Structure 1
Amino acid sequence: MSRVFSILLIVLGGYYLIQKRYRVMNTILRNPLIRKYAVRVLLSVPSIKRMMMNSVFGRSQNTIYQ
């Protein structure tokens, strides 16, 4: 019975986190140390880093100077 109860709590907790994911993420990332660590981890993934750098520093296809 205890195992069923714990599985039920995990499922309900997961459902709540999915429903309130942006609020939870904003609450967690409010802490500067956690935010700095999260950015460092995300930018250590090569494909994410490449996508971010192209988005920030990449040239647009509509520019005159190509």
Structure 2
Amino acid sequence: RFTARFGAEKIFCQHSGLMERERFDNWRRVRAGRGNIVIGPRSAIFMPAEEIGLIVIDEEYDASYKQSEQTRYHA
């Protein structure tokens, strides 16, 4: 549904199932402004997007979205 609405070139999936090179390529493309929609686990919030219009956290009640160790964040 996302690709139908926004186009595949703007959307990136970031997760541990990707090869390291794929994750880095996604990171570079987002940083360069070539995409602004990132779908992934909690680590996806650290993608270097300049202009974020919306972040959707599915199942935000899950304790795994809270990091108590360094670096602390609460998505």
Q: TM-score, normalised by structure 1?
A: 0.30
Larger relative contact order (C-alpha < 8 A, sep ≥ 6)? 2
Greater CA radius of gyration, 1 or 2? Answer: 1
